Amino acid sequence: MNQSPRASSPFRERNLEFDGKTIAARQWGSADGAPVLALHGWLDNCASFDRLAPLLGDLNLVAVDMAGHGRSYHRSRDANYNIWEEVEDVLGIAHALGWHDFSLLAHSRGAVAAMITAGTFPGRIRRLALIDGLVPPPAEDAEAPETLARAIAQRARYGARKPRHFESFDAAVEARKNGMFPLPDGAARALAERGTRPVGDGFTWSNDPRLMATSTAKLNNAQVQAFLDRATMPIRLVLATEGIVNMIERLRPVLASHANIEVKEMPGGHHLHMEDGAEGIAEWFGPFLRGEADR
């Protein structure tokens, strides 16, 4: 298999066990460093942090493959991948690591999961360092029946779908480069190395196809605000200037009423932490996650 140019990053592989589940992870830094759990975006994996993690200084940083992604467990056939279900896994991972309170570093869907975790258990989360994600777009109450109907139909369809087959690893990398958010070759290769598995004479994605299905329910505006209001810990949010369309405009009303959320816009696409934006993010996030900003 072709190797990523960042495969030599000084991490160690971990398997974390809790409640009969196995979460695969990579760990950087020192056991004496400030504990930080890193959550990747939708259909990514922990290799998302391969470039950023070594730049963040002396942390105890653990980046996980979230459920259904990378090399981690897939949820049972009667379970869903609703965003709030990540909260229980985050706490299970922390228990497996022996952490009571810790910070979260997260990207995109992982950032939304981090915010919901912080709003649910604010006493457990020291700081949030978020990349191009904060809260889900609020849903209208009247949309609930159609949302549920669509989710049930998609769960059945994607649950029966065979994963896409690639004749070569490079073909999988090419597909990843040209996904919903285009990626440079190095970033796509790192994610594909972690997110594919060999089958027969080729490769296929290791992700659970049911991740493609929509949530069975979505948070309305009052619920989103309730989680935000309880997340009173220090928060830093990087927004990519060429990231998710209209995200900056959509979040401005939210940010105006939450003084604990510092925002910095940085040049780059949605995965800017895997590209040249990693250095700028590390300069802003590193001291923050180490607690130096509080001294």
The CA distances from residue 37 to 31, 62, 119, in Å, are 13, 5, 16
Q: 58 near 85, Cβ under 8 Å?
A: no
| Catalytically active residues, by annotation | 108
pLDDT at 1 over 50: no
Closest C-alpha among 278, 293, 287 to residue 57: 287
Does the reported pTM lie above 0.75? yes
> Residue 7: pLDDT band by 50, 70, 90 thresholds?
very low
- Across 61-87, b (16+ Cβ under 10 Å) vs e yields bbbbbbbbbbbbbbbeeeebbebbebb
Vertex 231: Cα angle to 230 and 234 (nearest 5): 145
What is the percent of the chain with per-residue pLDDT over 90, rounded to a whole number? 84
Q: 10 near 61, Cβ under 8 Å?
A: no
Q: Which domains does the chain have, with CATH numbers?
A: 12-136+218-294 (3.40.50.1820)
> Residue 9: pLDDT band by 50, 70, 90 thresholds?
low
Average pLDDT, the chain: 93
State the Cα–Cα distance between residues 4 and 224, nearest whole angstrom: 38
Alpha helices by DSSP H, the chain: 86-97, 109-120, 144-159, 169-177, 185-195, 221-230, 247-256, 278-289
DSSP strand E in 19-101: where? 21-29, 34-39, 59-64
Give tens-digit pLDDT for 40-79.
999 999 999 999 999 998 999 999 999 999 999 999 998 9
> Residue 293: pLDDT band by 50, 70, 90 thresholds?
low
State the Cα–Cα distance between residues 47 and 195, nearest whole angstrom: 9
